[in-house]
Amino acid sequence: MAQLEIRIGNVTLKNPVILASGPAGYGAEYADFIGLEKLGAVVTKTISLNPKAGNSGRRLLETPSGLLNSVGLENVGADLFFGEKLPRLLELGAKPIVSLACEGREDYLKLLETVSGNDTVDMVELNLSCPNVDCGGMAVGTSPELLNWYVSSARQILPGRALLAKLTPNVGDIAGLAEVCQDAGADGVTAINTLLGMDIDPDTGKPIFDRVVAGLSGPAIMPVALRAVYEISSRVRIPVLGSGGITSVTDARKFLAAGAAGIQIGTAIFYDPGLPERIISAVTGAQQGKE
């Protein structure tokens, strides 16, 4: 199925199975359900320089084939994250990938400097694709010029750290944007973040979410994510991590066959927390069968 270890920049992960940013919170929340130390890595909740309260109103809505979310990058901020959340995740034996918010330039540069001063972080993922915020996120990820600035700034301030760029699917040529990230210094890309969606209350005729649109994840977006990984992997030299709608070992195999070096599991852990370890077992079994 795949080799166990994967290398991204200067960092080697022991297997290609990773928890995606968001559903697992800061990681420790799932310690009773998933053997975090068995995973290749855990991508943390996206962190901003200062604490964020997130969006008002309803934040989650289950759909027949997925989940709409409008959380809005709620998080405790850099000081509390690096002081309490990250040390706890490390105590549990997990390999952290710290997800960073790409907000206003000044705060973003300060956030990168904070990361630079923390020697326990050797790998970050730039959230260039969140659709649920006004500043940064998808607004950055749809612009080649902004992508170049945000990625190259991270590369300059975090030399030697493994750098992932998480891409939005809400564009015409996602592979072209992956090339921009590669040229700006990214060591790998994650594809994809959520698709834009919405729902309406039929009784009031008004949108369910205060921001009107939200991000759709889950099985419904798997074919879109698979196509993105296939296109990107044929045009870049850096590793691609596939993320979006993975709900089974078979799904994971499809992403690896499409060119993904590894896979990220998100929404599925809400109802099937055993999935990541089953995929690891399948990878391990396939590898042993080749020896």
Which residues form the catalytic set? 130
8 Å CB contact between 21 and 72: no
- Going by the DSSP 8-state scheme, the letter that residue 29 receives in this structure is G
User: Comparing C-alpha atoms, which of 16, 13, 52 is closest to residue 253?
Assistant: 16
Contacts of 246 (CB under 8 A, 6+ apart): 222, 252, 255, 263, 264, 265, 266, 268, 275
Contacts of 291 (CB under 8 A, 6+ apart): none
What's the sign of the alpha-carbon dihedral 6, 164, 121, 59? negative
Q: CA-to-CA distance for 96 and 98, rounded, in angstroms?
A: 6
Q: Please, what's the b/e burial string for 39-67 (b: 16 or more CB within 10 A of its CB; e: otherwise)?
A: bbbbbbbbbbbeebeebeeebebeeeebb
8 Å CB contact between 12 and 6: yes
Question: Which bin fits 46, alpha (ψ -120 to 50), beta or left (φ > 0)?
Answer: beta
User: Residue 239: phi, psi to the nearest 5?
Assistant: -65, 150
For residue 68, give both structure tokens.
């709409």
- Please report where in the chains the tokens 């952290």 appear, as a residue: 96
